[in-house]
Amino acid sequence: MNPLELEKEKKEIINKYRTLLRSCPSKTSQKDKKLIRKAFNLAVKAHEDVRRKSGEPYIFHPLAVAQICAKEIGLGTTSIISALLHDVVEDSDYTLKDIRDLFGSKTAKIIDGLTKISEVFDKNVSLQAENFRKMLLTLSDDIRVILIKLADRLHNMRTLDAMTKMKQLKIASETLYLYAPLAHRLGLYTLKTELEDLGLKFTKPEVYKAISIKLNETKLSRNKYINKFSSPIKNVLKAEGIKSYIKGRPKSIYSIREKIINKGVTFDNIFDKFAVRIIVDSSITNEKADCWKIYSIVTDFYKPNPDRLRDWISTPKPNGYEALHTTVLGDEGKWVEVQIRSKRMDEIAEKGYAAHWNYKHKDEKDSSLDSWIKRISELLENPDSNAIDFIDDFKLNLFLGEIYVFTPAGELKTLPKGASALDFAFEIHTEIGSNCMGVKVNGKLVALSHVLNSGDHVEIITSKKQSPKKDWLRFVVTSLAKSKIKSALKKEKKIIANEGKELAQRKLRQLRVKINHQTENELAKFFNCRSSLDLYYRFGSGEISNSEIKEYVKLKNSGWYQTIKNKIYGKNKFTPSTKFLGDLIVFNEDDDILEYKIAQCCNPIPGDEIFGFLSVEEGIKVHADQCPNSIELRANYSYRILNAKWTLKENLDFLANIKINGIDSVGLINRITEIISKQMHVNIKAINVVGDDGIFDGEITLKVHNENFLNQVTSKLKKIEGIDEISRTYKHNKNIKI
């Protein structure tokens, strides 16, 4: 790079640093600014001559993360310093001790939480899941670790264009699966919305682009409508002397897409594509009354939908969010969501936990958000859970819908929608949950699996003789309950496994086989066990017979172990249980020809974007990028993902499901089947149509050659009078084998 370009880059770095200083909170002292400058200088030196994938100097990244922390989350000096230094320990010769000596123990602890794990011994555990778990271990000590990590992830998503498509899919999937829900749970709505939109942009680019174009096309008319809608409200607020301002905001691209899927509607049929937000400048003592007064003014002009009133002022959300939400019928018959909140509530909604903490009084009781952090800390205390199980349990804590139930003493407890009476028992105390014998809801005895509703009064009946049962895992939904039940069952399992190990040693000794680490691995693979604990538990519970042990020894002596190694670690081929499809699909950059099976959850067909997934039991499974399970697989098991592509366009048949709905009429099914079978000569494998009050919904499974041919079929079907919509469907099978 020539000297002029280097000089230009240096100026840009200094400009970004000055912008960061201007974004610091107003209370930042000169002493604090000197510390920030010191951290900036160290970061520049540590990342000297290092560049990002985009080609820009690496220092741009920590500066951007620090900027997000300061301006978009509202964090202070320690967080800004930590953000500037968050990659220094990992990417340079500086150590945590150096950071501690220069900036203190708090900064060192935060950076330790942000530093990635360099080595994970269990090869079946996702490195990303283990990193995420390590980061959360610092959560109860310092929430800033999570907030800085979210800022780091947001900037990575903003600059994801420079990555390969495989990397884009992996990082975007992790973002949608974990980081966006986490941002929501911490009340960072602005970050959450952007993370979701960017996640969709890289996992479903065509969908993102289509909705984005439509939103831009309607922007002008939308703004005109918001101004017209707001005008009479503004006039009354001004006349009443209420200091406030009104702004409109469009629904996010991600939430529009979710509505299209969940409601089964098109973009044009979504009526609340935007919301109007009214923010009142009011003191803490008057803000509640002022919000209700504004609600009254709004409903004087527009008729409210009584089912869409949400009072999160009297009962804030667990993440600290407070506001009044209502949906009213505006001009031209359009539904408009109106959000009413004070300036304080708005800052908490925009900046989440950081703002919540700033407004919290010292003598104030712990909020539900603090209780949630405490619950995560309890979840992290279980040393036996592996990273993937932990992530699954953690996801359960990121619930969006809540219910509010009461103890016999009148204490309010918040639980996720769908929570059972047993979930409530564990919410009170681990011991009460473990010893729960029965439950009374509103004075009536109910089953432990009884699903609670908001307003229920719940009383728990306990017995010292009771202990957690495996069956309980079927109907608890909170991660706390699941974690404690699993932990109790594991203790019992360990006792049986210890007995099983002694039994296995005795039986194998008689067959002249000594148990060591290699034998243990072989036994686990042979008996399809995920761990040595599972293996010895099966010995201890009598599930493994003497004849099966003899079969293992026989195969071991004939070189079985090498065969199973090839199967699991996959250098050559797998033996599929279905017919081999030749070299229709090739894998990785070298176009490797490997045996595979088509995943039943999505049934990809030639023309679909696809990837290979290396399952332990069934070899390579080929999934469509559109598969409902793809986000979870890429987020948790990216190390098992293989690049895959179609190579041939032969007339091989593949199964594809289409969903079809519209206005019911006599002979409609006849016309549909005639086009499919007689005109297009397609084999219908299954058809299921249900009609109700003149409307019909149907699902048809077809055998087709490729995506283009399927599109030809659906375009012909769309021409039938009465058919409203046709779409490709995929099964969401949570029991996929990994």
The catalytic site residues sit at 90-91
> What residues contact residue 215 under an 8 Å CB cut-off, 6+ apart?
250, 253, 256, 273
298, HSE (Cβ side, Cα atoms, 13 Å): 27
Q: How far apart are CA 687 and CA 701, in angstroms?
A: 6
- Residue 130 near residue 105, CB atoms below 8 Å: no
- Residue 606 near residue 707, CB atoms below 8 Å: yes
> What residues contact residue 47 under an 8 Å CB cut-off, 6+ apart?
57, 58, 59, 62, 87, 88, 91, 92
Q: How far apart are CA 598 and CA 606, in angstroms?
A: 11
Classified as helix, coil or strand, 328 is strand
DSSP 277-299: EEEE---TTTHHHHHHHHHHHHH
Classified as helix, coil or strand, 222 is helix
> What residues contact residue 165 under an 8 Å CB cut-off, 6+ apart?
none
> What residues contact residue 71 under an 8 Å CB cut-off, 6+ apart?
23
Amino acid at 215: L
The total of other beta-carbon atoms located within 10 Å of residue 681's CB is 7
Q: Number of helices and strands (H, E) in the chain?
A: 30, 20
> What residues contact residue 140 under an 8 Å CB cut-off, 6+ apart?
373, 374, 376, 377, 380
Length of the chain: 738
Q: How far apart are CA 116 and CA 131, in angstroms?
A: 6
| 575 bridge partner residues | none
Query: How far lies 231's CA from each of 245, 288, 298, 325, 490, in Å?
Result: 11, 23, 11, 19, 63
Q: How far apart are CA 33 and CA 425, in angstroms?
A: 49
Cα three-residue angle 497-498-500, rounded to 5 degrees = 60
Q: How far apart are CA 633 and CA 463, in angstroms?
A: 41
Cα three-residue angle 425-430-436, rounded to 5 degrees = 45
- Residue 170 near residue 641, CB atoms below 8 Å: yes
Q: How far apart are CA 510 and CA 488, in angstroms?
A: 34
Q: How far apart are CA 193 and CA 213, in angstroms?
A: 18
- Residue 389 near residue 133, CB atoms below 8 Å: no
Name the helix (H) or strand (E) containing 107.
helix 105-114
